[in-house]
Amino acid sequence: MPPRIHSSGCPPLLLNCVPESISSSCSSSLAVRSSSRPLAWMTAQTQSPRCANNFSTTAPRGLNKVQRKMREWIKGPGQQFAEPTGEGKPNYLMGSTDRPFPINPLFKSQPVLSDGAREKIYSAVMERGMPLKAVSARYSVDMRRVAAVVRMKEVERQWEASGKPFAKPYAKAIQGMLPIQHLGPDEPAFEPINDIHVHSYTMQQVFQPAAESKHFTRVDAAKAFGEHILPADEKMRIPELIQLERDLELGIEPADANKKFLEATRESEKAFAATKEAQLQREEDRKTRVESGRFEFRFERINAGAVGHDGRARGAVGWRYGVPFNDRKRGVVKIPTKVE
């Protein structure tokens, strides 16, 4: 609760009237009363001419201890947090550079990309046509982040073209209050790019008897956790990096190894695009489009029998007799689960 502010002035009730009544002309009855018992009033007035709430037997409600301490802090040492530092540095409690919550050392405010860094990524992808994987490895920025940066830069360009104003002062202020990285050559890696998800099957300890002579590798370990568990090598987001390291280990020139890496990433991107396209093509092949001046009708071959044992299978199409729709029922969540 915010601290209450109490005015130090007098309550505007009877008291304001009293001195006048004593002197001359408030109301006759009051004047009579005051003349009959003048002393108490007079003394009270003379003792504290500014505020005479010694009539009230209730103690004034001041701040309690906690509120007082809070106000003292806000007016004193808390003042340094009122404005940003102005030096392009964060301004966290206790003078920390990366810990916004003083008692939780396990959450850190990690640097974000500067506007220049985002431009670098955008130009690498859109102007120089580098594959996402290569850009990610080059700047040590997660592939998903690279994609997001490019996507939002595209929107930015659209805004610029249509004359929609940016939130420039806001952006500048925020960038001045955050830890920032510019993706320069002498900066540390921005973020780990080779994270692999820890599968819940691999969070247990497994006792697996193996022959002493067996060469038990990561692949065998994955098998031991479960048939469908992939070894770490296959879960890597940029497996080409392992090959790059192997090439360097074999003594191939770094420039050549890098060239090979770039080629490999380009190839993998092409292959990914080809599979996506094939998938879209398959979907398109199932449809028949009929153009009729105003509308385009799309027909698709559907198996009406594939509705599951209760007629409510996820992929089922159409309304089925006797199976009520639940989509408007009370208690059923209507919030969409995805937006595409």
User: Which residues ranging from 198 to 237 are in contact with another protein (CB under 8 A)?
Assistant: 198, 200, 210, 215-219, 221, 232-233, 236
Which residues in 40-69 contact another protein (CB under 8 A)?
A: 65-66, 69
Tokens of 141: 């920025």
**Of these, 83, 87, 227, 296, which contacts another protein (CB under 8 A)?**
83
Instruction: Decide: is 5 part of the binding site for another protein (CB under 8 A).
Output: no
Cα 334 from Cα 340, distance rounded (Å): 17
Report the distance separating Cα 337 and Cα 278, nearest Å. 26
**Angle at Cα 110 formed by Cα 106 and Cα 111, nearest 5°?**
170
Stretch that binds another protein, among 187-195, 290-298, 313-321, 324-332 (CB under 8 A): 187-195
| Site for another protein contains 182 (CB under 8 A) | no
Interface with another protein: number of residues (CB under 8 A): 89
Give the C-alpha separation, 135 to 133, whole Å: 5
CB of 49 to another protein, least distance (A): 23
The helix/strand/coil state of 264 is: helix
Specify the residue, 89 or 320, whose C-beta has the smaller distance to another protein: 89
- Minimal distance, residue 110 CB to another protein, in Å: 6
Nearer to another protein, 199 or 320 (CB): 199
Residue 213 DSSP code: T
Interface with another protein (CB under 8 A), residue from 82, 211, 290, 332: 82
Residues 143-172 that bind another protein (CB under 8 A): 144-145, 148-149, 151-153, 155-156, 159, 162-171
* Complex with another protein: residue 18 or 241, whichever CB lies closer: 241
Q: In Å, what is the CA distance from 27 to each residue of 17, 19, 298?
A: 10, 12, 92
Q: In which element (H, E) is residue 288 found? A: strand 287-292
Interface pattern 239-278 for another protein (x via CB under 8 A): --xxxxxx--x-----------------------------
Report in angstroms how near the CB of residue 339 gets to another protein at its nearest.
5
Least Å from the CB of residue 226 to another protein: 16
Q: Find the binding residues for another protein in span 107-126 (CB under 8 A).
A: 107-110, 112-113, 115, 118
Shortest spacing between CB 60 and another protein, in angstroms: 22
- CA–CA distance, 244 with 313 (Å, rounded to integer): 46
Amino acid present at 102: P
Which one of the spans 25-33, 51-59, 105-113, 280-288 is the region binding another protein (CB under 8 A)? 105-113
Distances (CA, A) of 40 to 6, 21, 45, 49: 27, 14, 9, 14
Burial class of 134 by CB neighbour count within 10 A (0 to 12, 13 to 18, 19+): buried
CA distances from 113 to 87, 99, 110, 139, 301 (A): 17, 18, 10, 11, 48
